[in-house]
Amino acid sequence: MLETSARLLALLSLLQSRPDWPGRELAERLGVSTRTIRTDIDRLRELGYPVDAVRGPAGCYRLGAGAKLPPLLLDDEEAVAVAIGLRAGSGVSGIAESSGRALAKLEQVLPHRLRRQVAALHSATSRAPENLATNVEDPEVDAAVLTAIASAIRDHVWLRFDYAVPDAAPADEEHPSATAAGSGRRLIEPYRLVSWRRRWYLVGRDARDGTWSSYRVDWMTPLTPTGRVFTPVPLPGLDYTSFVLRDVATTGWKVHARITVLAPAEDVIARINPTVGIVESLSPTRCVLVTGADSLETIAVYIGMLNLDFKVTTPPALRTHLTTLAHRYLNATTP
């Protein structure tokens, strides 16, 4: 039989490994009586661990949520996985320092053999750049902003925020989409956060006119919580991720472009990823590609890879950039 202190740690580890534990099963695992389990549960409660008891034929113990985070007991594989995840985690501003502190605490208590595993993996691994699709740095989102949005989604509370779309085109140019969200104050029903290509998007429904849109979280500044609860309305199709991928092609970038491609729509669709843009057929031999990116250079790469003739409708800045590229490429072929 384990000594009391060792048994308490073993009991705590079991309680953290799954939601519910019948008292008899805990007793069998630890080789003690159910009465001893009840006594040990009381000791854990005295130490500040919120252990709930469910009575009845299906009675069980479960570790509840307390006022503060209790120490976690991890097995070898879990500890290594957490250490690797802390080293690899990125993309949300404000957590780099706290991730470093958590990793330092974990590595300090890791057994020597596990510390060697984590150190060996870290020293033997090089991380290649993850942002290969654009020449613009990845946006970082404040963890507090994500938390505020997630809480509003969970509680079905209206979300009020200022939305600042980066200047990309003159105001008199054609809007890339009827649902494109412009800069200004927004009041929406928040439904889902979607992470895609190292960017965060919020799918929401306008509280006034019921319009569905996706919003770049790094362009949002949450305001004072409204506290007003709404009754959720299902998104048509119920596929939030697909909605974001379609919407981002026309509304979610800093730069949007409308390209007339001198080829059937079927040919263009076959050559692009559905998330790159929206294709609209004009005739059997012509179509329009509505696409976007965070820079003109990235859009130029996209449309160049089509290997089809095209004409730029908007923005004029893209025409200017392509003219510069054309001269550069032409000069590259001159002996």
Residue 105 CA to residue 109 CA, distance in Å, equals: 7
Residues of 226-260 as b/e, b for ≥16 C-beta within 10 angstroms? eeeebeeeebeeeebeebbbbbbbbbbbbbbbbbe
Domain residue extents for the chain: 4-63, 76-123, 151-251, 255-332
Which positions ≥6 away from 187 have C-beta within 8 Å?
158, 159, 160, 206, 207, 208, 226
CATH code of the region 4-63? 1.10.10.10
pLDDT of residue 283: 95
Which positions ≥6 away from 13 have C-beta within 8 Å?
73, 75
CATH code of the region 255-332? 3.30.70.250
pLDDT of residue 230: 95
Which positions ≥6 away from 214 have C-beta within 8 Å?
194, 201, 202, 203, 204, 243, 244, 247, 248, 251, 252
Q: Report the chain (335 residues): mean pLDDT per 10 consecutive residues.
A: 76 84 91 91 86 81 71 79 74 68 80 82 64 59 84 93 71 39 87 82 90 88 90 86 73 78 92 77 93 85 90 92 93 87
pLDDT of residue 176: 37
Phi-psi region of 154 (alpha: psi -120 to 50; beta: other; left: phi over 0): alpha
Helix or strand or coil: residue 191?
strand
pLDDT of residue 174: 39
* Token couple for 89: 């985690």
pLDDT of residue 172: 34
Q: CB of 290 within 8 A of CB of 256?
A: yes
Q: CB of 249 within 8 A of CB of 277?
A: yes
Give CA torsion, residues 54, 55, 60, 63, to 10 deg: 30
* Token couple for 23: 């008292």
Look up residue 206 and give its amino acid.
D
pLDDT of residue 90: 56
pLDDT of residue 186: 93
pLDDT of residue 284: 94
pLDDT of residue 170: 38
